[in-house]
């Protein structure tokens, strides 16, 4: 699926998936970020040394109480990359140029007990940004060591696909949530 396209929009009998864009901002505690190629060539036990990722405590809206990637829904006429860039600025005060975003893949979330929550997310990473990170009404941003993410505070499905993001690998994920709209019924990641 093309990043940011409505899945099934307007087709009779086909569920609608709200398009969203998520962005994982990477940095290091002591200098410029290594490139994805350098990370891929490094020894497995050294891939994440010193790397950190910007996530946020969700204070309001969908996902309140969880640690999440920065992002949100696409505005009318907006591409997924434009939405990712805008959301990073709105939620954390950082500017990311669209040309500095790397598209990694999509995650489709099915909420059988609440189909209005269905989403398809375009997942981006960025290693360059400008500005000063700060809180918004919606998110309290926080840097986390890549090798020590707070999995217990994240959505349960994150454990099945975020590792691809951390490694800079392309992927497609399809997550079906349980009736409680929190737990994972199935997770298929390729």
Q: Which DSSP string do the residues of 34-58 spell out, in sequence order?
A: PPHHHHHHS-GGGTTTTEEEEEEEE
Confidence of residue 13 (pLDDT cuts 50, 70, 90): low
**What sign for the dihedral angle of Cα 17, 19, 20, 21?**
positive
Query: Structure pTM?
Result: 0.84
Residue (of 130, 189, 128) closest to 162 by Cα position: 189
Q: Say whether pLDDT at 161 is over 70.
A: yes
Whether 38 has a pLDDT exceeding 70, the answer reads no
Please report which helix (H) or strand (E) contains residue 126, including its range.
strand 119-126
pLDDT of res. 11: 52
Give me the mean pLDDT over the 88-110 stretch.
98
**Residue entry with tokens 């298929």:** 188
What is the per-residue pLDDT across 21-35, written as a single tens digit (0 to 9) for each? Answer: 999 999 986 544 444
Is the confidence at residue 37, as pLDDT, over 80?
no
Domain 22-104+121-170 is found in CATH 3.90.79.10: yes
Residue 28, pLDDT score: 83
pLDDT in tens, 107-157: 999 999 999 999 999 999 999 999 999 999 999 999 999 999 999 999 999
Q: For residue 17, is pLDDT > 70?
A: yes
4 versus 97: the higher-pLDDT residue is: 97
63 vs 115: CA distance, rounded Å: 16
How much is the pLDDT for 22? 98
Q: Is 21 in contact with 81 (CB distance < 8 Å)?
A: yes
pLDDT of residue 50: 79
Tell me the pLDDT tens digit for each residue of 52-87: 999 999 999 999 999 999 999 999 999 999 999 999
Give the pLDDT confidence score for residue 124 in this predicted structure.
Answer: 98
Question: How much is the pLDDT for 15?
Answer: 78
């Amino acid at each position: 699926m093309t990043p940011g396209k409505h899945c099934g929009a307007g087709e009779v009998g086909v569920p609608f998936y709200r398009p969203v864009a998520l962005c994982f901002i990477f940095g290091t505690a002591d200098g410029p970020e290594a490139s994805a190629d350098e990370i891929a060539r490094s020894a497995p036990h050294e891939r994440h040394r010193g790397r950190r990722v910007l996530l946020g405590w969700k204070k309001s809206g969908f996902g309140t109480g969880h640690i999440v990637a920065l992002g949100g829904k696409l505005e009318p006429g907006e591409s997924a990359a434009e939405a990712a860039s805008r959301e990073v600025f709105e939620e954390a005060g950082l500017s990311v140029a669209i040309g500095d975003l790397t598209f990694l893949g999509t995650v489709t979330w099915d909420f059988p007990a609440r189909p209005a929550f269905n989403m398809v997310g375009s997942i981006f990473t960025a290693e360059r940004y400008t500005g000063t990170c700060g809180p918004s009404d919606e998110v309290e941003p926080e840097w986390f060591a890549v090798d020590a993410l707070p999995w217990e505070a994240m959505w349960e499905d994150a454990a099945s696909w975020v590792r691809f993001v951390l490694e800079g690998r392309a992927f497609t994920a399809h997550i079906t949530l349980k009736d409680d709209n929190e737990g994972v019924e199935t997770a298929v990641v390729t």
